[in-house]
Amino acid sequence: MRLRREKLPATIPTCSMADIAFLLLVFFMVSTVFRAETGLKVIIPQAEAAKKIPTKNLTHVWIAMNGIVSIDDALITKDKVSPIMNRKRQINPDIIVSVRCDKSTNYGLVEDVFDQFVEANVLKISLATTKKRG
Amino acid sequence: MKLREKVIRRPDIPTASMADIAFLLLVFFMVTTVFSNEMGLQIVLPEKGQEVKVKSENIQKVYVEEMGGIRLNGEPVTQDAFVDEAKAVLVANKDAIFSIKTHPRAKYQYMINAFDKLRLASAERVSLAPSTEE
């Protein structure tokens, strides 16, 4: 008995391509975080021992070379930092402040801002740096 | 005359370009996605009014000069030798606490340098001393 065999042309199935693309698309759409704050233009210092900091409970404070501070995109003088941080701590007691300070800022100015943090009882600080490859 | 038989076409939505659209969006999101990768050095500031009694022999004074020079207990140390010096201090006394005091006009980067070196020497107990205090 002879069986009839139909010869099919060789093809790559592409119908699931769209599914794969959509899957990746959804992933990127969900994971994309558009920057909420613009902050200030600062060049942050470099450090070899820099570690990744958890983004949970993180709030950013920018300090420019001239001592201007930016919190939540509002420009303030450094003596106004304490009340704002105090309010933030009351909302979230586990707050961690990421200090993005220009590397050429005089330390005296930075210290004044740190004193404001202590005043507001916000004590967990992370000094933002870029990783220096040793 | 015999008319040709009418071919009834089934209506369908063309899906061939669906993958192209999906890929286009995918590429857009892949390019614009910024995965948060914040690096930094973490520190906990002392609470206001809190005085911790520390044995004076455990305190190692680090002074960051205006031009970036580092002094360890009054002795000038080069940037490269500072890590080894700090390690040696920790070997001799594992309870050593490094207190970084920075000149008010020193650049922020210089303080970060000293702090970074201490972290490289795996010194966990580091504090920032007020620059005004003698």
Spell out the domain ranges in chain A.
Answer: 46-131
pLDDT tens figures, A51-63: 888 888 888 899 9
- Cβ A25–B26 below 8 Å, yes or no? yes
Condensed to tens digits (0 to 9), the pLDDT of residues B35-91 reads 767 888 888 888 877 666 677 778 888 898 888 888 888 888 888 888 888 888 888
Dump pLDDT digits (tens) for A62-103.
Answer: 999 888 899 888 888 888 889 999 999 999 989 999 999 998
- Interchain contact, A127 vs B43, CB within 8 Å: yes
**Mean pLDDT, all residues of chain B:** 83
Domains recognised in chain B with CATH numbers: 58-129 (3.30.420.270)
Per-residue pLDDT for B123 more than 80?
yes
Do the Cβ atoms of A32 and B106 come within 8 Å?
no
pLDDT (mean) for B89-115? 88
Fold assignment, A46-131: Nucleotidyltransferase; domain 5 (3.30.420)
Question: Per-residue pLDDT tens for A13-41?
Answer: 777 877 888 888 888 888 777 666 778 88
Instruction: State the sign of the Cα–Cα–Cα–Cα dihedral A71, A72, A76, A81.
Output: negative
Give residue B2's pLDDT. 64
Which residues in chain B are contacts of A51 at CB distance < 8 A? 39-42
- Could you tell me the end-to-end alpha-carbon distance of chain B, in angstroms, rounded to an integer? 115
Residue A63 structure tokens: 């300090």
- How many whole angstroms separate alpha carbon A120 and alpha carbon A118? 5
At residue A1, the pLDDT reads 61
Flag if A126 and B44 touch (Cβ within 8 Å): no
Contact present, B72 and B85 (Cβ < 8 Å): yes
Q: Which of B30, B38, B113 sits opposite A52 (nearest CB)?
A: B38
What's the DSSP call for residue A106?
A: B
Q: What is the pLDDT of residue A134?
A: 66
Shortest Cα distance from A6 to chain B (angstroms)? 27
Which one, of B128, B34, B41, lies nearest residue A132 by Cα?
A: B41
Among A47, A50, A124, select the one facing B44 at the smallest CB separation: A124
CB contacts under 8 A, A 7-66 vs B, are 14, 17-18, 21-22, 24-25, 28-29, 31-35, 45-53, 55, 58
pLDDT for the residue B51: 66
Instruction: Read off the pLDDT band of B1 (50, 70, 90).
Output: low
Nearest residue, CB atoms, A47 vs list B19, B34, B116: B116
Is the backbone of residue A122 left (phi > 0), alpha (psi -120 to 50) or beta?
beta
pLDDT range class, residue B134, cuts 50, 70, 90: very low
